[in-house]
Structure 1
């Protein structure tokens, strides 16, 4: 049996006014939330199809939206709440909770495939310390580590075109080996919607308002 490589998916609840706020000028609050739900469902399906190891969805601000519960039931997915702190703190927590090699992804990259995830998992199984898939905008759509390492995360300035370049510098300074098996694009700004419209149509999500579900448990 291959060594399990966990996949942690960081996702915002698909709530109007909270999700995909940079796309609200183009889609409106409800449209942006609908897209968030569709992208999240696609990310979960992709991770499940890769079959590399256990799956966890790390939700913010909580996991009470019914779409999260539906995804958990349909894909043997553990729900967890993202901790307080910046993006680096939340990603490091997801890696630490995996108790072994882990890949961390968001929900903004519909171009990410099961084959990409399988290749990244194989890289970590081969003993490489880290793996990343850079995004065309200068960030990254995936980072994976064999063990929790604060170097790529602590004190990073997120949301800039220099994130991947700075991540490379930090990995090198820490003496960590890494690979970058692909370069992909993500959906962050209105201009990205044109590219998204040329691809496969994402299935429609369940957009019921979530107020009644229990708070999410800690990931195991």
Structure 2
């Protein structure tokens, strides 16, 4: 199997449009700054992993991302549709591993674990503490995983596992990690929130 490509999903850090659930705690500028820090931190992890990667961007033209992150970061547009449609597009040329930018505890070892798991399993998933997942990796495209569901809610991991089970697919399951999405999450990583 070729090395999986890691796709990082990230929005441009525009105040008022980035990390909107954190605006009540940080204000529009603070939430955007936090998203900027998280994205840069996650890119550093991807570089350290040694795996090929790309940033799947939305919220601004590619040129704006190049000005922010440099021309050496491979870019691809997320495209239209809901999160599921955009994730399906990113896994159409699997093997692929998808992650978001809201994982302060993500380390290169997590990506290595996912890569290793794909050698013996058709898929790998990392459950998040909030009921979603922080990583999904596929050896081949599985568009059924990304058909409409209540994205961003506590049912996403369970529903995804049910979709695997309905097709007799047993994914490797990584450790549970927290993500940084809501004001109550900020206390875990005060250094990122600038507190």
Taking structure 2 as the reference length, the TM-score comes to 0.92
Is 1:56 the counterpart of 2:51? The answer is no
Query: How many residues in Structure 1 have an aligned counterpart in Structure 2?
Result: 193
Query: Whole-Å Cα distance in 1 between the matches of residues 61 and 129 of structure 2?
Result: 30
Query: Whole-Å Cα distance in 2 between the matches of residues 187 and 13 of structure 1?
Result: 17
Other-structure match for 1:166: 159
Q: What displacement does 1:151 show?
A: 1.9
Taking structure 1 as the reference length, the TM-score comes to 0.82
Flag the structure with higher helix content. 2
Unaligned residue ranges in structure 1 (runs of 5+): 205-220
Other-structure match for 1:22: 21
Other-structure match for 1:90: 86
Query: Whole-Å Cα distance in 2 between the matches of residues 77 and 4 of structure 1?
Result: 18
Q: What displacement does 1:64 show?
A: 4.1
1:123-178 deviations in Å (ceiling 9; x for gaps): 1122x111111100000111110011012110111111111001100011122220
Post-superposition, which runs of at least 4 consecutive aligned residues in structure 1 deviate over 6 A? none
Is 1:112 the counterpart of 2:106? The answer is yes
Query: Whole-Å Cα distance in 2 between the matches of residues 191 and 59 of structure 1?
Result: 26
Is 1:186 the counterpart of 2:185? The answer is no
Other-structure match for 1:155: 148
- Does structure 1 conserve the Cα–Cα contact (< 8 Å) formed by 2:127 and 2:157? yes
Which residues in structure 2 correspond to 1:139-154 (within 5 Å)?
A: 139-154=132-147
Query: Whole-Å Cα distance in 1 between the matches of residues 42 and 29 of structure 2?
Result: 20
Which gives a bigger RCO, structure 1 or 2 (Cα 8 Å, sep 6+)?
1
Farther off after superposition, 55-64 or 11-20: 55-64
Query: Whole-Å Cα distance in 2 between the matches of residues 32 and 165 of structure 1?
Result: 29
Query: Whole-Å Cα distance in 1 between the matches of residues 33 and 62 of structure 2?
Result: 16
Q: CA RMSD in A?
A: 1.7
1:39-96 deviations in Å (ceiling 9; x for gaps): 00111111111112x21101112344645444353xx431111111111111111111
Other-structure match for 2:170: 177
